[in-house]
Amino acid sequence: MATAQTTKPRRRRRTPAEAEHEIIDAARELFAERPWHEVTVGEIMERTTLSRKSFYVYFRDRYELLARMLAPLRAEGDAVMSGQDPRETLKGIARIYQANGELLRALVEAARVWRGFTEGPIERIAGQIRDGIAAGIVEPLDADETARRLVGMNLFAFFDQLAGRPDADVDALVESLYEVWRRVLYWRPSS
């Protein structure tokens, strides 16, 4: 009785660009199936016709692989953001995220604890927004979604402007963020 064995396709010579593309395609498939932090270099390479060692010819580690996979999306996003209409720009960026969800999710999952780190503050801010709505000092809005957006904006600004920059102007950044929060939460339509 013969048993079926799964074997890797026979190795063949290819250009460096073809090999890199093969690795990226295999990684993209795996990221669509499982979270980034669960995918190993070995599993990626099992889906290629290359040896495991070949991975390190093209990439230092999984982080570099992910960065290279994201580079075309970054370029696409930059192109969309050069538009003049803010609504169309947001739609264009949203479509990039929609079309590349697994890959962009891998970027977030690379931080492994990101959600656990952000959910507590988001819940606390949402509660404060609900309290403000109940007290009549905040216009009615979706407290959970608003808190998620505002906290996300803050975290991005902190990482972008402060992380690793001991000489950064904290006060200027805080004033800028505070102004956005104030306008979102305490804005009143003209009568």
Rounded mean pLDDT of 19-32? 94
Confidence bin at 115 (pLDDT 50/70/90): low
- Residue 161 confidence (pLDDT): 84
Q: Quick one: CA torsion of 178, 91, 160, 149, rounded to 10 degrees?
A: 40
CA distance 78 to 107: 17
- Considering the chain, what is the average pLDDT of its residues? 85
- Residue 165 confidence (pLDDT): 80
Determine what percent of the chain is predicted with pLDDT higher than 70.
88
pLDDT tens track for 27-77? 999 988 988 888 999 999 999 999 999 999 999 999 899 889 888 888 888
Rounded mean pLDDT of 125-151? 93
SS3 162: coil
Judge contact between 30 and 105, C-beta under 8 A. no
CA distance 86 to 84: 6
CATH homologous superfamily, domain 16-109? Tetracycline Repressor, domain 2 (1.10.357.10)
Rounded mean pLDDT of 128-144? 94
Distances (CA, A) of 135 to 66, 128, 140: 46, 10, 11
List of E strands, 37-190: none
For the chain, domain boundaries: 16-109, 114-186
- Residue 43 confidence (pLDDT): 97
Please indicate whether residue 11 or residue 94 has the higher confidence score (pLDDT): 94
